[in-house]
Structures are given as structure tokens and as C-alpha cells.
Amino acid sequence: MERPGYFRKYVIFEQLDPGFGAHRSPDGFARLEGYRDGVALALQIRFLKDDGLPYTVILIYDKDSGLGVFRVGTLQVVSMVGSFRKFLDNPTLKSLELKPEKIKYILIASEQKDKIYIPLIACCKKAEQWDESLRDRLLHREKTAEDREDRKEKDKKGEHKENKESKENKENRENRQAEAETANHRDNNGTKSSNNKVDDVKLEKMLKDTFEVMDPFSNPRHDYSWYKVNDIAKLSNILYTCNLTIPLFANPKILVGLFKYRHLLAGFYRSDINNLTYFVLGVPAKDETDGKPFENVCRWVSVENSEFGDMTGYWLVYISLRDGEFVS
């Protein structure tokens, strides 16, 4: 049973202005969670270029007196990974005339003296299209009441800035460590190592060190091992580090499964017959008619007495660690 006043909403970021990707186009998601005393905003971004310039998190929303623009804070980017968390209490929301259901866009912006670039945009309403005229509004930031409120809040909390940054760095530490491992697989030009073989030993060790071991099925087998994944950014970084590429962020059905049931399965299958090893991704779903993430390469496996609400099983996807190909 949900608590009164509680809600959760996820939106996916898409590239708007090119040129800010590191090795590929950046992507990610934003999560809005409502509580009795306010709203929490959390962002997870990957493959975003870190060239020393700050990125600003901006909300654009409808309000009674027109369109609202609120610069929430600065996105910290370390080794291509960006994380951001901010809690907006009810008095702040009221002063800004900001209602969560009225948010139109969440932007990741690179603001310069006379230009504003928007590497990533998340449209909070499906039918919403980006209005390019909003760039001019964003350029004249000194004229917005929301910006004055933002500066006031920064002044008020300036004495806590150092502690806040320390906390954010701590929250990002594991992602930075995973990305640091990735750097070891690149040459001096910043590209991936020419040795693209999947490192299954390293992969299993990193999964075991990062995630909780679990036994999701009623018939445990010695040839399978399973891990409960509750952070898709960490999983993505680990897979990339070990030369295994799966479009986790780009597949909305994977994200829906994670967001609805608060976990994914990551596992290994080691065949006793042909000495093959497979990485297995498990996407939770309500039933076998719901949320099939990959149409032709999925298999449905049910579970009994699930502890995750109305979930009754997983869509399993097998990837060969010999060649990195999906197994149908």
C-alpha cells in the first residue's frame, strides 16, 4: 500500500544537441518521487563528456502565471558518469509555483556567456515536443524569478556546500571505480582496447562484489548464479568494463521492469555439456504477456511466492560470453 501523497515517475533522457557524448551518445533517466513534505529528484547519466565545463539541471514547467524555469543545481560528471540528487520541500515548491505534474521538461544544459547548449532532454509528457524558442528564455536567466530563488537558496546553503559535494562524491564512488576499470581497457586515443573478448571471470567477480546474491527460483541449480541488481548505471558500467554491451538504458521495457519491481536479475549460466558460459539478464514482469524486452530472444520463467508485488516471473535473455551475441 502506497503512503498518502507518495508517487514515483521515471522519464528517459534523449540527446538534443550533439557533440557532448563520450565514445557514444549520452543517455540516462530521471526519477521524481513525491512525499508528504516534498519531492525528490534523482538523475543517472552516462557517456557524458567531462571537459571541465559545468552542466546545469533545469526544470521547465507550467504555472498559473506562465512558464516557469528553475535551475535545480549542477550535475557532477566524473569519468563520463553523472549523478544528481535534490530534495525540494513543500515551501520551496510553493514559492516557485511548481507542481510535479506540471513539469514539461528536465534539461541537462551547458550554459555559456552568450549560448546555451542542451545535450540531454527528458520530456515528462509523451505528447510534448521541444520548443526551440525556449533557448532564448533560458539565455535571459537574470530576468527570471526562479533564478533569483535559486541564488537565494545557494546563498543560504553556501556554508554546507563542501559537505554536500563530499556526500555526492561518496554516492558516485562506486560508479567512478567501475569507470576507472574501463579506462584500463582503452588505448592512448581513448578508445576501447582492441582485445574485445568478454572477461567473464572479472565480470562475475564485479557482480558478486557489487550486488546481492539471490535465489529467485524454486529449483536452484548449481550451473546458475544470480545477483539482484538495483542500480542500472552500475550494471551498465560493469558490463562495459568487461567488453559486454547490452542496450540497458535504450530499452524502455528493461527500465519499466526495474522501476516497477525495483530490481533486475544478472546471472551466469555455465554449461556442463559444451563448456559454454552465458551472461543472463532477467527482467521482472507481471506475466508472460507483459514487458517482453527483446521480442525474439526472450524466454519466460515464472516464480512462486514473489516478494515483489504482482510480479510472477522474469523474461530471461542469454548472451554468449564467447562472442557477445544474443542467444535465441
What confidence tens digit (pLDDT) does each residue in 32-82 have? Answer: 988 889 999 999 888 888 877 789 999 999 998 888 999 999 988 888 888
Asked whether the predicted pLDDT for residue 310 surpasses 50, the reply is: yes
Q: Which amino acid is at 26?
A: P
Asked whether the predicted pLDDT for residue 256 surpasses 70, the reply is: yes
Residue 17 grid coordinates: 544537441
Residue bearing cell 554449461: 271
- How many residues are recorded in the chain? 328
Looking at every residue in the chain, the average pLDDT score rounds to 79
256-262, long-range: CB within 8 Å, 24+ apart, which pairs? 256/291, 257/283, 257/284, 257/285, 257/291, 257/293, 257/315, 258/229, 258/232, 258/283, 258/284, 259/8, 259/10, 259/31, 260/284, 260/309, 260/311, 261/308, 261/309, 261/311, 262/230, 262/308
Least confident window among 25-34, 235-244, 313-322: 235-244
pLDDT of residue 121: 94
Q: What is the pLDDT of residues 198-226, one digit of tens each?
A: 788 888 899 999 999 988 887 777 888 99
Asked whether the predicted pLDDT for residue 84 surpasses 80, the reply is: yes
Report the share of the chain in percent with pLDDT over 70.
80
| Domains of the chain, first to last | 7-142 (2.60.40), 200-327 (no CATH)
pLDDT of residue 194: 38
pLDDT band at 119 (very low <50, low <70, confident <90, very high): very high
Q: What is the pLDDT of residues 121-165, one digit of tens each?
A: 999 887 778 888 888 888 876 444 444 445 555 555 555 554 554
Residue 313 grid coordinates: 516471473
DSSP string, 49-83: --SS--EEEEEEEEETTEEEEEEEEEEEEETTEEE
pLDDT of residue 158: 55
Neighbouring C-beta atoms of residue 135, cutoff 10 Å: 15
